Structure 1
């Protein structure tokens, strides 16, 4: 591939085809781009895709064949994460489309619980996912792909100049750094280390320097990945099979034709697994003190699980196919940095893996991240105006968190380059808003993972209503066209019309709406009674059922949200946080140290939960009661 490879759009196809050789670059490259994105992972893909909707952009990567790789689990979604992807899709992002195109197994998690926590998880064909992502990016006429390694960032009259290690200089009005785990990346296999951003790929050796030079505080984080095992060496008959949902679901409403073609499986650790790990902790670079980076609390290595949860005699592990045509399975939950010879022994202690052959060994990766509190809500550096950061470089973990940040940074960078009004995604609008607010105002001292528990009003911001909440903002950002806005408007208009018809017709003196409120009545029961639901598709039927059955809870949550918004400016002057016993111990300590002046400021203190804010409101009301009676 040439150093500059403009993509060619396939106008006759609904999906872009892979870029061909393209037109020969003139003058080496465009003189200046609106946005230049560094890094082709999930954050970089969304950033360059969003920015390209508003003008010419460039993507700088060391190797275009690595764009869209899934270095960890070959899946998209899950609790707290599927909500991000649904919102991302409603805003015009790519991840939901690529995930649905390459789905081989879909399952709705928490299906027996309420809609606030139900989450779609899509298993993907790993290699095809990367190919499809490359189809979109390399096939886009407005995206120039530059091959090289960034060595420096220098301000110039029109924005920034990205200097590569071979001396080329690429100018852009805005820059998005989406370097993932590559900034001064080091991988660990036992006590041995390599300079890598991930297995087999060189690190970004120099990007940390310009960030530090401009005053950014860099931190060192660590994450890891499990081994990949040859599928033909696994006894699947000894595993618990987990079939896909019989009716596949997708982020776009139409998952690919193979979305229910593969199961996943479950196994578990054994006493022998635990014994081997306990006896060999000295060979773990984390426990031996070789790794200084902070690891993820919510996605611990198998070594951490055995040490921290020693009272458990087994830990569940999920066996996931890397694809229909690949020879590997992914052992989710078995992340490790122990040396390869020990990994061979450990894996063979698992039921069904007695004769397993590891094809690619697990490893830990240590890398630099920026302090996310030094960013704006649009992920722009406060110290380097015009430079944005997105993804794991901001201290997050997960494909979905990275992709959401990529879209936000990409469109904000493009709008800044064009002098357009800056738009923000507020916390109350959904999971992306919570992610941004947490990163900027609370920061993190470990890789940040999105969870449903982080979202205070999750009943209002479910995965099923992401289009209703987000498509209008996507339109204002320039990412979603008017036709899509109209499609979503008509969808919810049909839901309201059918609901009105249920309220207007009675059976034995009871309206259809009142019948549907009963916990034992489903939509199919109403059809059997003669109610006409034919105008609605599956997604619209789901929207109708949630709107009716959860109406009381939804209205109560909306009132609570309105009350909290009104109370955000409430003064905390004179409150001795140490004496408010209804606060959690962590909140008492953190609030006493930071001394916030208002409830809004208290909400942004790391370690302060939603329940702590409620406790503060109750305390303030109780303190005011005697005064009111005087």
Structure 2
């Protein structure tokens, strides 16, 4: 093979999606150190959760791979925040860890348009014709029109077990030794980040009877609408730290590389190590921990919430202070990993380097954390790289499009000073971009950019046509003097209750019934959110040149300081200043209207 349309470097969740997307356009290479590690789940064996499931539903709506892999290997599914409104409800799918990687490898290795190439990327060289050579450590020069770097936590990576370290990208796998150099040579600012993973404990050494069992939802849910046959086979469990756990950590902080000053990298605020939790939240006498199986017939359980970089001998003692783990045997010890990331503000919204045209980056190399964030970026970068290579028009996803748009906008315009994690609180219009309507919002866009085929688009259109039929039936059929949709607005009633009153609906599946119920029950809220979004879109060009930000009393202190320093000229510019939140923008608009009237850039 003399060359490829796109070369993707790295076979993690970002690399998987990038290769899958790029291969829909033309022949693609996936360059990995070891094909047996493709699709591996190095941290928690689960997909989804608050803010993250919304990303996976969007990936699925755009023709991506992650939702399919998660559903096919599911052993436990639960809807989180089920008692709250649809804007924050999130699906979490527990997976058979090994099966997930095996299924990913089946898909990639069996793909007719993907060539898996074994090797270590060492350098990037322009080919003089707008393309690139990826130079491997053994001297091969692999040609491509575009390149996607999805190196995860491997760039100049070091793992830490107490004060001892070794060169690894994750446990037992060598780092990417050379690829930071061409990025830095081009002028990219590289930062050091840190993340960690908990210990894995032998399942037969845990007293599960002493743990709080959390069963799967009786009716399994999936990202594709087709949860796998084993989706309710396993529970998960909860335990917690104890005063003895906290005492041991407090007495041994000097053995933590983070507290001893050995680690330079910035760690995730929203997923701290157990040492960090105990120090930062000293007023708490316990911290909740989640015990998650690696499979239905697993030999290991994953201690979610207990990531650590303390030495193995201390990990043994600490784990045995937890209820149910008094006789625990650790099978794989926790560790921290420190690695290089690029400054994401040096990228375009399609994740193309502004300094290396034709080179895209995706995943943890961009300063994010989590499988879902990585996969979403991989889909965007792989699609954009393939379209660029084919000379197709560039397409970008806006912030208003959904969680994926917010992720891209935050990374490019705000950047990050810690591993970035998607959360529902980051999304201003989350009632409009729910997980349940991702296909309705994005399937058309997926078709336009070349990711979604005609049968998938047709299925989405038919689904919402049936939902519209159901809504019409509710609006036209009267029960006891009121229409069916009026009855359904009563909070205590479900769609089944309304049917029992005498309303006849068309044949709808569970997803369609859920979509119909949300449309009726939240109609007023959704309409208000739509009006607010429209008003904000009209206000983007409001002039802020004469605004004294220090004189706006309803601004947060952080917003006053940062806006005063940056001095944005318009609301659109102000919204992209790191630390300025949606509430601050609303306060600015109110202030401008009261003091000067709403003006626009001319």
Short-chain TM bin? over 0.9
1:44-193 to 2 correspondences below 5 Å: 44-158=15-129, 159-193=131-165
TM-score in terms of structure 1 length: 0.94
Distance in 1 (alpha carbons) for counterparts of 2:563 and 2:421: 23
1:34-433 to 2 correspondences below 5 Å: 34-158=5-129, 159-433=131-405
1:478 aligns with 2:450: yes
Partner of 1:32: 3
Distance in 2 (alpha carbons) for counterparts of 1:383 and 1:76: 33
1:572 aligns with 2:548: no
1:213 Cα offset (Å): 0.3
1:593 Cα offset (Å): 1.1
1:436-455 to 2 correspondences below 5 Å: 436-455=408-427
Distance in 2 (alpha carbons) for counterparts of 1:237 and 1:508: 51
Distance in 2 (alpha carbons) for counterparts of 1:553 and 1:249: 25
Which of residues 487, 500, 509 is equivalent to 1:537?
509
CA contact (8 A) 2:478 2:503 kept: no
Q: CA RMSD in A?
A: 1.0
Q: Deviations over 1:27-61 (max 9, x none)?
A: xxx11100000000000000000000000000000
CA contact (8 A) 2:470 2:506 kept: no
Q: Deviations over 1:414-462 (max 9, x none)?
A: 0000000111111101000000000000000000000000000000000
Q: How many equivalent residue pairs?
A: 598
Partner of 2:571: 599
Instruction: Provide closer, same or farther for how the CA distance between residues 256 and 625 of structure 1 changes in structure 2, counting only shifts above 3 A.
Output: closer
Distance in 2 (alpha carbons) for counterparts of 1:564 and 1:613: 9
Which of residues 462, 470, 475 is equivalent to 1:490?
462
CA contact (8 A) 2:21 2:451 kept: yes
Instruction: Provide closer, same or farther for how the CA distance between residues 315 and 479 of structure 1 changes in structure 2, counting only shifts above 3 A.
Output: same
CA contact (8 A) 2:246 2:278 kept: yes
1:169 Cα offset (Å): 0.8
CA contact (8 A) 2:6 2:29 kept: yes
1:404 Cα offset (Å): 0.1
Give 3-state SS (helix, strand or coil) of 1:324's partner. coil
Give 3-state SS (helix, strand or coil) of 2:586's partner. helix
Q: Deviations over 1:200-253 (max 9, x none)?
A: 000000000000000100000000000000000000000000000000000000
Distance in 1 (alpha carbons) for counterparts of 2:470 and 2:35: 49
1:505 Cα offset (Å): 1.3
1:501 aligns with 2:473: yes
1:590 aligns with 2:562: yes
1:516 aligns with 2:492: no
1:573 Cα offset (Å): 1.0
Give 3-state SS (helix, strand or coil) of 2:338's partner. strand
Give 3-state SS (helix, strand or coil) of 2:134's partner. strand
1:530 Cα offset (Å): 2.1
Q: Deviations over 1:539-560 (max 9, x none)?
A: 0000000000101000100000
Give 3-state SS (helix, strand or coil) of 1:611's partner. helix
Distance in 1 (alpha carbons) for counterparts of 2:454 and 2:39: 29
1:513 Cα offset (Å): 1.0
Distance in 1 (alpha carbons) for counterparts of 2:62 and 2:469: 26
CA contact (8 A) 2:592 2:598 kept: no
1:326 Cα offset (Å): 2.4
Structure 1: which 5+ residue stretches go unaligned? Answer: 1-29
Q: Deviations over 1:356-410 (max 9, x none)?
A: 0000000000000000000000000000000000000000000000000000000
Instruction: Provide closer, same or farther for how the CA distance between residues 187 and 587 of structure 1 changes in structure 2, counting only shifts above 3 A.
Output: same
Distance in 1 (alpha carbons) for counterparts of 2:100 and 2:172: 19
Give 3-state SS (helix, strand or coil) of 2:123's partner. strand
Partner of 1:551: 523
1:497 Cα offset (Å): 1.2
Q: Deviations over 1:296-332 (max 9, x none)?
A: 0000000000000000000000000001132000000
1:575 Cα offset (Å): 1.2
Structure 2: which 5+ residue stretches go unaligned? Answer: none
Distance in 2 (alpha carbons) for counterparts of 1:275 and 1:593: 44
Partner of 2:440: 468
**Which ranges of 4 or more aligned residues in structure 1 deviate by more than 2 Å?**
624-627
Distance in 2 (alpha carbons) for counterparts of 1:342 and 1:396: 29
1:534 Cα offset (Å): 4.3
Partner of 1:21: none
Q: Deviations over 1:584-626 (max 9, x none)?
A: 1111111111111100000000000000000101111111269
Distance in 1 (alpha carbons) for counterparts of 2:45 and 2:459: 31
1:610 aligns with 2:582: yes
Partner of 1:18: none
Distance in 2 (alpha carbons) for counterparts of 1:184 and 1:424: 31
Larger mean CA deviation between 152-161 and 81-90 belongs to: 152-161
1:504 Cα offset (Å): 0.8
